[in-house]
Structure 1
Amino acid sequence: MTTTTDIGTRTVRKVLRRFLPILILCYFALYLDRLNLSVAALTMNDELGITPAIYGLVAGVFFWTYSLFEIPSNYIVSRVGVRVWVARIIVSWGLVTMITAAAAGPGSLVVLRLLLGVAEAGFSPAMLFFLASWIPSSRRAAAISLMIVSVPLSGIGTPISMHIIDAMEGVAGMSGWRWMFLITGLPPVILGYFFYRIIRNRPADAQFLNPDERAWLESELAKERTSLGGEAKHSFFRGLANPRVAALVVVYILYAFSLFGYQFFIPQILKQFGLSNIAVGWVALIPPLLAVGPMLWWCRHSDRKQERIRHFAITGVLAAVGFCVAGLFLHEPFVAFVGFCLAGIGLYCCMPIQLSIPSTFLSGAALAAGLATINGLGNIGGYFGPQVTGIIREATGGFPVAVLVLSAAILASALLALLVDRRIRRGRETESAAGARDVVSTS
């Protein structure tokens, strides 16, 4: 006799087997193309006359257009579905990455990074909206972690990109960093086609599921929507106006400040330890790889406990401690690197937990809106993180103060998240009490 639990486990497993490989590949390509600028900077900055402050601007300006177009992009997703629109996003960012090979100076690089922001806008929240449309909330953090695991794994691209730069230097009269942009931009163009072929927008379109599995999945997701107040309460524009969303925007701004300040500058920090360019690529890979196991375990723990925000806060504090150690001991390469490893583990463990928080109080189109708002406006921190890091580096002649600022930002994010948690819990208690009063008044 087949139980509901058996059907649920089998169905979720089938969904993940069907969709996770292409989602992981797309996320891997996303972060490779977003962050390969940090690898190119080791040789590109001198060639194009880019100072640390200008590099911070070039790295961060991407988030201007990314944030501006995030909400419109996800409104389109809520109307036409993930399949067509995200396939367009993937192909677009691949083409812009390839064109970046033609950059002639800081001005053209800024324009191309702005275009990359337009191209990528909407991808991450659309992927989260997609998982929320297919995976019940009780299993969602673990599913998100399996998808987001490609983010730390994309660190593998750092040494690969460095080897491309080294091997292709001078080929056909072009700098190696130009070849790197050309070569790393091609895979997303191909992935966009396969994404369109594989992805389906909703369980009703899932021919790979048996009728009983489709029925179970649609029933579970419908129960969730009902428990959160139904579709009318969760329209796209209500998701934009939700006060909890506004608070999480600030949490994510501080988190993104720390994350992207770290990611865009870690190769240059490691270079100051006296490493070769190739060695920088391999050493920079260690912190994200160390984060993979803890991230998967922490997200499963979050699912078992059915708790998100405190899990985010704990790993945020770990990242803050790591950055503090690195900043205070930057003159001791080994100790500083241990600090960066702790910071990397904390930052990457935070990511899937943070992304799963909105689905605890939003559903349907409102979830698409909430994710777009948090990811879009929150990524403003992705501009300020690299920009402030570059300015401090240029003003002080080193990275210690900048790294300590990254520590303060992620610590503030963790503490603010705990305050948001209190508000969400109070909101649920208020809604439960109101519901109880309604039941009494109608009986």
Structure 2
Amino acid sequence: MTSPTEIEIRTLRKIKWRFIPLLCCCYFALYLDRLNISVAALTMNEDLGIGPAVFGLIAGVFFWTYSLLEVPSNYVVSRVGVRVWVTRIIISWGLVTMLTAAAQGEASLILLRLLLGAAEAGFAPAMIVLVGLWFPASKRAGAISLMVIAVLLSGFGTPLSAIIMTTMDGLLGMPGWRWMFLVTGLPAVVLGFVFYKVIRNGPEEAGFLDAEEKRWLTTRLAEDDAALGGRAAHPFLRGVLNPRVAYLVVMYILFAFSLFGFQFFVPQMLQQFGMGTVVIGWVAALPPLLALGPMLWWSRHSDRTGERVRHYAAAAATAGVGFLIAGFSMSTPLIAIVGFCIAGIGLYTCIPIQLAIPSTFLTGAALAGGIGAINGFGNIGGYIGPQVTGLIREATGNFTAAVFVLSASIFGAAILAVLFSIWQNRPAPAAQRTVALDPA
């Protein structure tokens, strides 16, 4: 008879090798197609007559439909399952990305970014639901961190996009940025069909696990659910309306403000230093790539200790310090780039820990609802951040003040995380403890 430790290692190894490489490819394509407009802006803005403030609107308007449709999309996931719905999500965002090559100006770009937000809505929360269906609670931050590796490796998408733009510029009479949208959208369409073939909605559909492995996994997941009161006690709306979810939404708004204000404008910040397009692509890739090791280490430390929120606060504070260094050094490019790298390490390290926090108090359909609400409403910050960054750049003529605002926002998220930790750890009221001890 195989010991529990041996069967755990064997089962989780199979699951990781079955799903994680594909999910990493999907995340890489997601961020490539979401952020490629930041590279396109280096030449597209001039071609179409777009200024910094308008570009901030175009980049951020994506989050209008993304936020609006995130919760409905995750309700569909809770009803029809991850496999079918996420297949639709991946294929549709790839097609919209390819259509962006036909943009003719501000109005068409805004429309296409709205369509992209609608297409992508629900993907990230659905991935967290998928992790909850296949990984025990104590292993989820680690599993999420493996997927976030792809988010960090998508930093290679920046130089890749820049290379496509420069090498294909003028081919068949089209500017390079149009070719870039066509080429970078195609992989998502292919991945959508692969996703449908590989992914399953739970252990009961797992033909790659033997009977003993299925039994161990099903039992372990049931124990995790029971510790939270069982899936039946966690309907979809309970997650959406949970007060802690509302708090995490505010925390996420501040995080998304800094993350996307930085991501959408970092190529233009580097252009301000006099760099060429391909060099900008490689330098812009440094923050996510350098975050890879720290993110994995800190996520595993969070798993080992079982603590999430203070780990998040430390990472967010690191990002705030990085932005401060960059803000005070915008006249010294090398030091500013070091500051951006520190900020990137903090921001990207936040992601897997932040995504694991809701599973500490929600399960089942409520987890889908809660994550959908956090990711959907929280990404309002993803619109405000680029918009404010663009407005400040246009008003001041440089990005210095904008970088300080990004720092203040992520420091705000760190402070809220500390307060959330205090809230979660406070003793339950006496009446609540009595009910817990005597459920009859």
TM-score category of the 2 structures, normalised to the smaller one: over 0.9
Cα deviation for residue 423 of structure 1 reads: 1.8
Q: 1:406 to 1:16 in 2, by over 3 A?
A: same
Matched AA of 2:376: G
2:369 aligned partner, one-letter code: A
Q: Secondary structure at the match of 1:331?
A: coil
Please give the alpha-carbon distance, in whole angstroms, between the structure 2 residues aligned to 1:292 and 1:115: 31
Structure 1's 56 and 427: CA in aligned 2 closer, same or farther, altered over 3 A?
Answer: farther
| Distance in 2 of aligned mates of 1:404 and 1:87 | 40
Shift of residue 218, structure 1, vs aligned partner:
0.6
Tell me the equivalent position of 2:103. Answer: 103
TM-score, normalisation: structure 1: 0.98
Whole-angstrom CA distance in 2 between matches of 1:278 and 1:285: 11
The whole-number CA distance in structure 2 between the counterparts of 1:431 and 1:352 is 35
1:41 aligns with 2:35: no
- Is the counterpart of residue 131 in structure 1 residue 122 in structure 2? no
Counterpart secondary structure, 1:274: coil
Work out the CA distance in 2 between the residues paired with 1:113 and 1:251: 25
Residues 241 and 398 of structure 1: is their aligned pair in 2 closer, same or farther, counting only changes over 3 Å?
same
Q: Does 1:286 find its partner at 2:286?
A: yes
Distance 2:430 2:251 in 1: 23
Q: Distance in 2 between matches of 1:164 and 1:10?
A: 42
Aligned to 1:31: 31
Cα distance in 2, alignment partners of residues 123 and 429 from structure 1: 38
Question: Which string of whole-angstrom CA distances, capped at 9 and with x for unpartnered residues, describes residues 96-136 of structure 1?
Answer: 00000000001100000000000000000000100011100
Over the aligned positions, Cα root-mean-square deviation in angstroms equals 1.2
Q: Which residue does the alignment assign to 2:272?
A: 272
Q: Which amino acid aligns with 2:37?
A: L
Instruction: List structure 1 runs of 4+ shifted beyond 3 angstroms.
Output: 427-432, 434-437
Distance apart, 1:12 and its partner CA: 1.1
Structure 1 equivalent of residue 346 of structure 2: 346
State the distance in 2 between where 1:92 and 1:104 align.
Answer: 21
Q: Deviations over 1:188-229 (max 9, x none)?
A: 000000000000001111111111111111111111111101
- Aligned-residue sequence identity (percent) comes to 62
Q: TM-score, normalised by structure 2?
A: 0.98
Counterpart position of 2:204: 204
**One-letter code of the match for 2:327?**
G
What is the CA-CA distance between 1:437 and the residue it aligns to? Answer: 3.6
State the Cα deviation string for residues 224-255 of structure 1 (Å, max 9, x = none). Answer: 11110112320001111100000000000000
Corresponding residue number in structure 1 for 2:120: 120
Aligned length: 440
Deviations 1:139-172 (A, max 9, x none): 1111100011111100101111101100111111
1:381 matched to 2:381? The reply is yes
Q: For residues 369-400 of structure 1, what are the alpha-carbon distances to aligned partners after superposition, in whole Å with 9 as ceiling and x for unaligned?
A: 00000000000000000000000000111111
Shift of 1:431: 9.0
Measured in 2, the distance between the counterparts of 1:430 and 1:86 equals 44
Equivalent runs, 1:64-103 vs 2, <5 Å: 64-103=64-103
What secondary structure, in the 3-state scheme, does the structure 2 residue paired with 1:133 have?
helix
Mapped pair 1:149 → 2:111:
no
Aligned position for 1:245 = 245
Q: Which amino acid aligns with 1:179?
A: W
Return the alpha-carbon distance in structure 1 between the equivalents of residues 81 and 185 of structure 2.
25
Point out the more displaced range, 158-167 or 425-434: 425-434
Change over 3 Å in CA distance of 1:428–1:199 after alignment to 2 = farther
Distance 2:280 2:340 in 1: 14
Name the amino acid aligned to 2:191: L
Structure 1 counterpart SS, 2:104? coil
Cα distance in 1 for partners of 2:214, 2:338 equals 47
Residue ranges of structure 2 left out of the alignment (5+ in a row): none
Paired letter, 1:258: S
Deviation at 1:434, TM superposition (A): 3.6
Partner residue in 1 for 2:186: 186
Distance (whole Å) between structure 2 residues aligned to residue 32 and residue 398 of structure 1: 26
> Shift in Å at residue 425 of structure 1?
2.2
In 2: Cα distance, 1:306 partner to 1:156 partner: 32
Match of 1:217 in 2: 217
1:271 Cα shift? 0.9
Aligned with 1:300: secondary structure? helix
1:5 paired residue number: 5
Matched, 1:358 2:358: yes
